[in-house]
Amino acid sequence: MNHFNPQPKITAKTLATDLDGTLIPLPNNAGNVSALAELFKHHQSGEINLVYATGRHFESVLEAIVHYTLPTPEWIVCDVGSAIFRHRGDSYQRYTPYEDHLAQTTGTVNRAKVETCLNHIDGLELQPPDHQQRFKVSYQCTSEVLHKLVDTIEARLQNDDMPYDCMGSIDPFENCGLIDVLPRNVSKAYALLWLATHADFLPDEVIYSGDSGNDYAALVSGFRAIIVANSSEGLVEKVQAKLQQRNLSEQLYLANKEATSGVLEGCKHFGLIK
C-alpha cells in the first residue's frame, strides 16, 4: 500500500472523489442534486480542482458526466487505477507519463503475455474491448465460479512469475463475476498518489471522498478523507483503525449526509469550500 506523511497545514485545493455512491446523486434524492449544483458552481469558479477516481472505464465516466450533469474534472483516474486521463481543451487525453511508469514496472510482460498465461481456463471469458486497457485485462464469469477462478488465475500468474495481481468482484447490476488483472499493487489509490506526486497538485492538497471497500486504500493513504453516510458496512471502522494506527485520525471526516451531500459537507469541514 502507498502511504505518505501529510502536512495538515497545507490548504486543501483538490477534491479527488469516487463516483458511484459518492459524487453521483442517489436516485430520487433532491438534496444530492442541489449539493451537486453547489459543487459545480465552486468548481466552475476555479476554487477547487477535481479528480475522479473510479473503477468505471473511461467511456463510462464520460457517460456519467453527461447523464448526471457532473462537473468536468481536470483529471480522471479510471479502470481501477490502470489509466489516467487529463482534460485539455475540449477533450481528455491519456496521460502518457503514467503509461510509461506502468510500462517500466511491468517490463516486457505486456497484456498479450498475460492473456497467453491465462488462456484456456474453463468458464473465463474476456470482457468487451471497451472494458480493456493496455494495463488492465478484464474477464467475466458466472458469479458461482468467481472465487474458484480468482484462485486459478492467481496460481497461474504466480507460477509464470508475472508482475500482475487479480481482483474479483460481483457486478451488482448483472450478478455476474468480474475479474481484473492489473500490474501488481495498482489500484485507485496507487494511481492517485502517483498522480499527486507527478502532476500539477500535491498529495497534501487533496481531499478524498468515497463510500466502499475499493476506496479503502485511498482513504487511509494520508489524504484528508471523507466517508459519506451511505458507506458500506464496516468501512468506517476499518478506516478509523488504520488511521489511528498511523496517528492520522484527524484526517478523517465522517459525513452525516449521504453521497453528494456528504461530499459537500466534508469539503466545507476541511475548508475547501467556504
Binding site for Mg ion (CB under 5 A): 18, 20-21, 211-212
What is the distance between the alpha carbons of residues 163 and 147, in angstroms, rounded to a whole number?
Answer: 21
Q: Looking at beta carbons only, is 74 or 211 nearer to Mg ion?
A: 211
Residue 103: partners with Cβ closer than 8 Å, 6 or more residues away: none
Residue 29: partners with Cβ closer than 8 Å, 6 or more residues away: 258, 259, 260, 261
Task: Provide, rounded to whole angstroms, the least separation between the CB of residue 118 and Mg ion.
Answer: 27
Q: Looking at beta carbons only, is 18 or 258 nearer to Mg ion?
A: 18
| CB distance 35 to 43 below 8 Å | no
Task: Provide, rounded to whole angstroms, the least separation between the CB of residue 231 and Mg ion.
Answer: 9
What is the distance between the alpha carbons of residues 195 and 217, in angstroms, rounded to a whole number?
Answer: 15
Q: Looking at beta carbons only, is 6 or 25 nearer to Mg ion?
A: 25
What is the distance between the alpha carbons of residues 75 and 15, in angstroms, rounded to a whole number?
Answer: 11
Task: Provide, rounded to whole angstroms, the least separation between the CB of residue 161 and Mg ion.
Answer: 33
Q: Looking at beta carbons only, is 187 or 212 nearer to Mg ion?
A: 212
Task: Provide, rounded to whole angstroms, the least separation between the CB of residue 207 and Mg ion.
Answer: 16
Amino acid at 268: K
Task: Provide, rounded to whole angstroms, the least separation between the CB of residue 64 and Mg ion.
Answer: 12
Count Cα neighbours of 90 within 13 Å in the Cβ-side half-sphere.
0
Which residue minimizes CB distance to Mg ion?
A: 21
Q: Looking at beta carbons only, is 157 or 255 nearer to Mg ion?
A: 255
Taking CA atoms, 39 is separated from 69, 131, 134, 152, 220, in Å, by 11, 29, 33, 44, 24
Task: Provide, rounded to whole angstroms, the least separation between the CB of residue 101 and Mg ion.
Answer: 25
Tabulate helix, strand, coil % of the chain (nearest 5). Answer: 45, 20, 35
Q: Looking at beta carbons only, is 102 or 227 nearer to Mg ion?
A: 227
Taking CA atoms, 65 is separated from 41, 44, 113, 163, in Å, by 15, 15, 34, 34
Q: Looking at beta carbons only, is 212 or 260 nearer to Mg ion?
A: 212
Task: Provide, rounded to whole angstroms, the least separation between the CB of residue 92 and Mg ion.
Answer: 21
